[in-house]
Amino acid sequence: MHSSFPALTIRNRQLLPVVQGGMGVGISAKSLAGAVARENAVGTIASVDLRHLHEDLVAESGHARAQADFDRLNLIALDREVKGALARAGGHGLIAVNVMKAVDSHAAYVRQACESGAHAVVMGAGLPLDLPEMAADHPDVALIPILSESRGIGIVLKRWMKKGRLPDAIVIEHPAHAAGHLGAARIEDLSDERFSFKRVLEETHELFRSLQLESEKIPLIVAGGMSHFAKVKTALNDWGASAVQVGTAFAVTREGDAHDNFKHTLANARPEDITEFMSVAGLPARGVMTPFLKSYLKRLDKLQANAKADPTRCTQNLNCLTVCGLRDGLSKVGQFCIDLKLAAAFRGEVSKGLFFRGKDPLPFGEQIRSVRETIDYLLTGHRPLGAA
């Protein structure tokens, strides 16, 4: 595929400067990640709770009684998805696995991703200070932290440098535009100037200089609101980013792993249908105002008033998150089971699911287009025949 932009280089792989963001539960798995990598870009599998994609593992989940049982099934699913994505990619591009630091079993997911043959591990939802140790037995696997401001980048860089390791790239995610769990402490902070891409990129390059690092060796990938050619061009040509990461625009492609109802719910969401709220992990989140979310927000004051620490509130004994508002009785954050709600969204159950979405318009409006058409538009501005 033609691109006038410089290649993204990760571990000597020359790639198109487009990264598909990790989206769970099951939104970005082998089909989507493999299709993106096949175009010589970066395809990303979201590691969390992939058992939902496999009927035999879902059936076996019915007999699970402890977190270790679910962990085992999810690791089997992750292995299948990584190997499936690699097969679909056919030796092209790069297959990454996104692991949330906030997930209790994140270290096991990192190890499994490496053992299954993933080319890279991407970690966000918390400072990935110990990611080098988790992947120490697999030195050829690229390690990519997700951060939102230069202060966090500095903390990670200095800690990793003491361990003799540098990031192979850094994703800079803007919480005012991205979907899912957002890198700010409060909803009111989402549009804080400290998250401005131009500012964070400038401060990060200054940080590189102060640490005597060669900036061209650590690509900076901007994420959030990058689903239009004009924004991609500005980020790569004017701000000095090495690549862009895109989530929602890939989630609604034909190759996306989720149910068609999921894709249409995201693609048809109007600006007034997209809202911010506090997730169960204690971070702001952004999603579509579905019947579930609308009902939940109406009941929020009552739910928060009745919050209490109670392990029995954890559905199926999953204990998937290190911090959970529902299980741990944290009244200021989400009071629902995120695993159940995201799994319902994956299945296309609009009345029950939680549908994460970026707030910016999609490149083809309500249309469901292919991965190839999406990447081509992002890098050239070319709209396929019949596109919105």
Residues 199-211: pLDDT tens digits? 999 999 999 999 9
Q: What is the pLDDT of residue 65?
A: 75
Judge if 257 and 278 occupy the same domain.
no
pTM: 0.94
Q: How many CA atoms lie within 13 A of 243 on its CB side?
A: 25
**Calpha distance 353→258 (Å, rounded):** 12
**Calpha distance 2→188 (Å, rounded):** 41
**Calpha distance 147→122 (Å, rounded):** 11
- Taking 80 as the threshold, does the pLDDT of residue 1 lie above it? no
Judge if 124 and 260 occupy the same domain.
yes
- Other residues' Cβ atoms within 10 Å of the Cβ of residue 331: 12
Q: What is the pLDDT of residue 332?
A: 87
- Taking 90 as the threshold, does the pLDDT of residue 387 lie above it? no
Q: Taking a C-beta distance cutoff of 8 angstroms, is the pair 17, 5 a contact?
A: yes
CATH number for the domain spanning 146: value is 3.20.20.70
Instruction: State the helix-helix crossing angle for 338-346 and 260-267, rounded to 10 degrees.
Output: 100
The percent of residues above 70 in pLDDT, for the chain, comes to 98
Judge if 164 and 253 occupy the same domain.
yes
Mean per-residue pLDDT, 274-280:
91
| Residue 284 covered by a domain | yes
Q: What is the pLDDT of residue 132?
A: 97
**Calpha distance 223→215 (Å, rounded):** 19
Record the tokens describing residue 226, joined without a space: 């990058």
- Taking 70 as the threshold, does the pLDDT of residue 318 lie above it? no
Q: What is the pLDDT of residue 322?
A: 76
pLDDT, tens digit, 9 for 90 and up, residues 46-61: 999 999 999 999 999 8
Number of domains, the chain: 2
Mean per-residue pLDDT, 81-86:
98
Q: How confident is residue 316, by pLDDT bands cut at 50, 70 and 90?
A: low
Judge if 202 and 191 occupy the same domain.
yes
**Calpha distance 354→341 (Å, rounded):** 5
| Residue 233 covered by a domain | yes
Judge if 248 and 320 occupy the same domain.
no
Judge if 21 and 64 occupy the same domain.
yes
Q: What is the pLDDT of residue 319?
A: 66
Please spell the DSSP secondary structure of 50-98, one letter per residue: GGGG-HHHHHHHTT--SHHHHHHHHHHHHHHHHHHHHHHHTT-SEEEEE
Judge if 71 and 96 occupy the same domain.
yes
Record the tokens describing residue 187, joined without a space: 């909803």
pLDDT, tens digit, 9 for 90 and up, residues 323-332: 778 888 888 8
How far out from the chain centre does Cα 268 lie?
Answer: 21
Q: Taking a C-beta distance cutoff of 8 angstroms, is the pair 142, 168 a contact?
A: yes
Q: Which residues contact 309 (CB under 8 A, 6 or more apart)?
A: 327, 328, 329
Q: Which residues form the domain of 111?
A: 8-266+359-380
Q: What is the mean pLDDT of the chain?
A: 93
| Residue 1 covered by a domain | no
Lookup result for tokens 């204690």: 282
| Residue 32 covered by a domain | yes
Judge if 153 and 283 occupy the same domain.
no
Higher pLDDT, 160 or 311: 160
Judge if 224 and 287 occupy the same domain.
no
Task: Give kind and range of the element (H or E) at residue 223.
Answer: strand 220-223
Judge if 21 and 77 occupy the same domain.
yes
Mean per-residue pLDDT, 19-37:
96
Judge if 256 and 302 occupy the same domain.
no
Q: What is the pLDDT of residue 312?
A: 78
| Residue 252 covered by a domain | yes
Asked whether the bond before 25 is cis by omega within 30 degrees of 0, the reply is yes
**Calpha distance 56→21 (Å, rounded):** 27
| Residue 387 covered by a domain | no
- φ/ψ of 53, rounded to 5, equals -85, -5
| Residue 353 covered by a domain | no
Give 292: exposed, middle or buried? Use CB within 10 Å, 0-12, 13-18, 19+: buried
Higher pLDDT, 229 or 68: 229
| Residue 179 covered by a domain | yes
Judge if 201 and 66 occupy the same domain.
yes
